[in-house]
Amino acid sequence: MGIAILTSGGDCAGMNPAIKQFVDYCYIKGIQPYLIYDGLEGLIDGNIKKATHSDVAGILHQGGTVLRSSRSKRFFEYSYRKQAYENLTKYEINKLIILGGDGSFRALKQFYHDFGVKFIGIPATIDNDIFGTDYCLGVDTALNIIRNSTDAIRDTSASFRRGCVIETMGRDCGYLALISALTCGAEVCVIPELEIDLNSLTKKLKNQILLGRQYIVVIVAEGTKKTQQLVDWLENDVGIETRATILGHVQRGGNPTVYDRLMAVEFITFAVDKIFEIDSHEGLIIVHKNGRFSFETIDYINSSTYTIKQNLLDIAQNMIK
């Protein structure tokens, strides 16, 4: 029986290296690989292709996903899941590797309960907000894009003696903003996980300006919804001209870093080996915890909410008060 790969939900750098490794490794193992285009929607519509080496040649350095992606409401209706299953049976596919987040994993868990199609999920989201894993595919590239952008914005802020407020993605998780603030030398970091003391920061920053500080870098997570508030605060309370930059979807694209490429290779290799070992399971998620790869159940992944390591939150205290 065949095995197929699909990408679902938000795209991220690292997906294409994973897709290439999937095809190459399956052929090394003597397994016929298949590609499913357009995520769960493509599964419903039968957009499935037998994979060849030429399908993945030259994609290692590309951001995004050559398989494309989607957010499917139809897949949550049984009739469409049945249609998806019938499409798989045409190609004798009974195993799936999915790159995505917890919503995608839940969808395939239901698919397994309906039709017994085994799957392994690989956490792939720049938000890094999946419980049970320290690292999700695409995070390193996103952090490097934020770093490059922040460094460039700092240059112009310094030239004009301005403040800059830089908004990162991450939904309700402040991981991208926090790591970027720590590694880019931001003066202020605003994330959902920490309560900021603007009164204390106002006094501190005003004093620093009197002592010669000529610019201020603030990094804020989109989930706080405080970007404009911070611009107004810097201009009206701290007394420095300020510009806001919302980085947006630039964080999802770009040339995958070496680390994301390596993680993609390891995630896929372990996942393909594992899926042929398990006889019956509703679905496993491969995770990277404390420097080691392991597998967890989807129920465990969904049992709690991801939290940033406390030591990182402790280090950030000087940027919130």
The answer to whether the CB of 247 falls within 8 A of the CB of 194 is no
The secondary structure of 172-241 as a DSSP string is T--HHHHHHHHHHT-SEEE-TTS---HHHHHHHHHHHHHTT---EEEEEEGGG--HHHHHHHIIIII---
Q: State how far the Cα of 269 lies from the Cα of 272, in Å rounded to an integer.
A: 5
Torsion over CA of 239, 176, 250 and 227, rounded to 10 degrees?
-30
- Residues taking part in catalysis: 127
Phi, psi of 171 (to 5 degrees): 50, -120
What are the beta bridge partners of residue 292? 289
**DSSP H helical ranges for 73-101:** 78-90
